[in-house]
């Protein structure tokens, strides 16, 4: 199941209730005007393979709870105003191929545990 509302100039906060769509495999919310934080409750969407909230107006942290996404292959949150460190727990994403967190205000360095992510082919952290 896919939900793609990218590029629609949608506004408002990202609602925790989206986590009720627990069969979602793709969630594309990029290129809108969403504000607020990434809801930790979304970690319940454990079937997610593709996730993008790029080029919105999000702030706050990268929820460590998202490490429960055992099938995630694409994680794109670029072009927001996120300010946390990259959670070391994300190194559990054994299927991750595309990890894009550039153009935020993240702190710290890439966790060394990311070196075990053998499927990672695109890493954007600048």
Q: What is the pLDDT of residues 60-86, one digit of tens each?
A: 999 999 999 999 999 999 999 999 999
Q: 98 near 121, Cβ under 8 Å?
A: yes
Query: Which sequence spans correspond to the domains of the chain?
Result: 2-124
pTM for this entry: 0.97
Structure tokens at 38: 């990434």
pLDDT tens, 86-119?
Answer: 999 999 999 999 999 999 999 999 999 999 999 9
Which top CATH class is 2-124? alpha beta
d(CA 123, CA 95): 13
Quote the tokens at residue 110.
């890439």
Residue 100, exposed/middle/buried by CB under 10 A (0-12, 13-18, 19+)? middle
Using alpha carbons, select from 40, 52, 117 the residue that is nearest to residue 78. Answer: 52
pLDDT in tens, 13-49: 999 999 999 999 999 999 999 999 999 999 999 999 9
Strand partners, 99: 75, 123
């Amino acid at each position: 199941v896919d939900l793609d509302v990218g590029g629609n100039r949608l506004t408002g906060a990202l609602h925790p209730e989206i986590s009720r769509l627990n069969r979602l495999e793709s969630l594309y919310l990029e290129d809108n005007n969403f504000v607020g934080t990434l809801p930790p409750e979304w970690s319940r969407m454990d079937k997610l393979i593709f996730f993008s909230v790029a080029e919105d107006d999000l702030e706050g942290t990268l929820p460590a709870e998202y490490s429960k996404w055992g099938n995630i292959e694409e994680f794109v949150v670029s072009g927001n105003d996120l300010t946390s460190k990259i959670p070391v727990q994300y190194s559990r994403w054994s299927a991750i191929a595309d990890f894009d967190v550039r153009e935020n205000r993240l702190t710290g360095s890439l966790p060394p545990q990311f070196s075990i992510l053998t499927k990672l082919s695109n890493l954007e952290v600048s």
